[in-house]
């Protein structure tokens, strides 16, 4: 299943400073320059090393916790990131207009840190808080969905991804991901619905037909089997069939008793195998037997027994096929071979009546 990458948001600061004096304003501007330069260079350790100095010089400046928390997230110091971002958020419970973007960014960065620590509850809470500010932010909605996915909560993942799909209903990646989650949950009807939408978007994508076919096969009723066969045949039509495709067609056509189609699939499998696979020849013979093509079945069983004279199932089916074609002598000969392989004594003639 595809997993969408995490997205970290950060707004470079452009603040209207409310410093008590010009000296303080100069210090703040200096540190903004230091931290923004480090961000541009992605020098997270450099930012962290400057954090203590900044706190000592500007002990009341709350934005240092925002900067250092952001650096901690990128340096993968998730516990420290959570601590510093929490301090910044707690200092800004009443959100000033000039800090709104930083508060939003703090929620998403802290959510990402919680996510990395597998703290699902707190990660979801922070993503939800961010989404109250920006309710249709798709990358963040995907981050939230991935928290559920990474904890194998497919129901939660599907719910969040469905909200994303409502905003972008023709996005194939999102539909693929939801279809895969439905399949993981064995919600086959829903998976089929998404693959049907995907096929409408891209009618020549073999994977969509393969996946829809498997979903229909998994429902396991006559109608779903027929739909699965139709999709696998579409894969053949697209020139994308593999051994797996033809194997599936043999299994499903056998289940719906379309032995002619089953035999045709075995023919294709044999072509792919170079015509020499004894197991496939035996199975083709069994399909011919079920189709009441007893002479054709005998030809296949002859090939199998020539390769493996101790193939009991082939001998048994050939004996029955010979009986069906009126070859009593041949059936008796096969019966003798079967008894010898099974270690059974030859039948004795009944004693004459006195």
Q: Classify residue 217: in a domain, yes or no.
A: no
Structure tokens at 353: 């009546």
Does 304 reside within a domain?
yes
Per-residue confidence (pLDDT) for residue 307, from 0 to 100? 95
Q: Residue 254 sits in which domain range?
A: 242-343
Give the model's confidence band at 353: pLDDT under 50 very low, under 70 low, under 90 confident, else very high.
low
Per the domain annotation, does 292 fall within a domain? Answer: yes
308 domain-assigned: yes
**Is 126 inside any structural domain?**
no
What pLDDT shows up at residue 348?
Answer: 63
pLDDT number for residue 98: 85
CA–CA separation, 7 and 147 (whole Å)? 13
Q: Averaged over 32-40, what is the pLDDT?
A: 94
How far is the C-alpha of 341 from the C-alpha of 70, rounded, in Å? 76
How far apart CA 349 and CA 354 sit, in angstroms, is: 15
Residue 249 resides in a domain: yes
174, pLDDT greater than 80: yes
Domain count, the chain: 1
Confidence of residue 125 (pLDDT cuts 50, 70, 90): very high
Report the C-alpha gap between 102 and 11 in whole angstroms: 7
- pLDDT band per the 50, 70, 90 thresholds, residue 352: low
Q: Is 329's pLDDT higher than 50?
A: yes
Q: What is the pLDDT of residue 4?
A: 37
Q: What is the reported pLDDT for 82? A: 98
CATH number at 326 reads 1.25.40.10
The answer to whether position 97 is within a domain reads no
pTM check: above 0.85: no
**pLDDT at position 5:** 36
Overall average pLDDT of the 273-283 stretch: 93
Collect all residues with Cβ–Cβ distance below 8 Å to 137 and sequence separation of at least 6. 130, 131
pLDDT in the model for residue 268: 97
Determine the Cα–Cα distance for residues 164 and 171; give it in Å rounded to an integer. 9
Beta carbons within 8 Å of 89's beta carbon, 6+ residues apart: 103, 106, 107, 110
Q: Is the pLDDT of residue 1 over 70?
A: no
In a domain, 99, yes or no: no
Q: Residue 261 pLDDT > 90, yes or no?
A: yes
């Amino acid at each position: 299943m595809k997993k969408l990458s995490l997205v970290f948001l950060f707004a470079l600061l452009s603040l209207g400073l409310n410093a008590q004096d010009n000296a303080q304003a100069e210090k703040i501007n200096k540190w903004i320059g230091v931290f923004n330069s480090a961000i541009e260079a992605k020098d997270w350790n450099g930012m962290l090393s400057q954090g203590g100095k900044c706190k000592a010089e500007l002990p009341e400046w709350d934005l240092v916790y925002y900067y250092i928390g952001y650096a901690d997230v990128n340096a993968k110091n998730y516990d420290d990131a959570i601590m510093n971002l929490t301090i910044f958020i707690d200092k800004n419970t009443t959100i000033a207009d000039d800090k709104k973007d930083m508060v939003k960014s703090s929620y998403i960065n802290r959510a990402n840190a919680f996510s990395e620590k597998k703290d699902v509850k707190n990660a979801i809470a922070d993503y939800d808080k961010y989404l109250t500010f920006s309710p249709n932010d798709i990358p963040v909605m995907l981050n939230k969905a991935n928290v559920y996915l990474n904890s194998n909560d497919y129901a939660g993942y599907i719910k969040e991804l469905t909200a994303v799909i409502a905003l972008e209903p023709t996005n194939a990646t999102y539909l693929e991901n939801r279809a895969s989650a439905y399949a993981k949950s064995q919600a086959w009807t829903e998976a089929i619905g998404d693959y049907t939408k995907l096929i409408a978007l891209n009618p020549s994508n073999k994977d969509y037909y393969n996946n829809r076919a498997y979903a229909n096969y998994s429902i396991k009723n006559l109608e779903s089997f027929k739909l699965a066969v139709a999709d696998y045949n579409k894969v053949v039509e697209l020139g994308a069939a593999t051994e797996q495709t033809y194997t599936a067609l043999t299994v499903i056509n056998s289940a719906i008793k379309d032995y002619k189609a089953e035999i045709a699939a075995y023919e294709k499998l044999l072509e792919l195998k170079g015509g020499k696979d004894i197991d496939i020849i035996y199975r083709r013979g069994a399909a011919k037997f079920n189709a009441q093509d007893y002479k054709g079945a005998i030809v296949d069983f002859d090939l199998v027994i020539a390769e493996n004279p101790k193939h009991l199932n082939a001998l048994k089916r050939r004996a029955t096929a010979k009986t069906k074609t009126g070859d009593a002598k041949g059936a008796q000969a096969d019966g003798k071979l079967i008894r010898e392989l099974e270690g059974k004594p030859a039948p004795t003639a009944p004693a004459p009546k006195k």
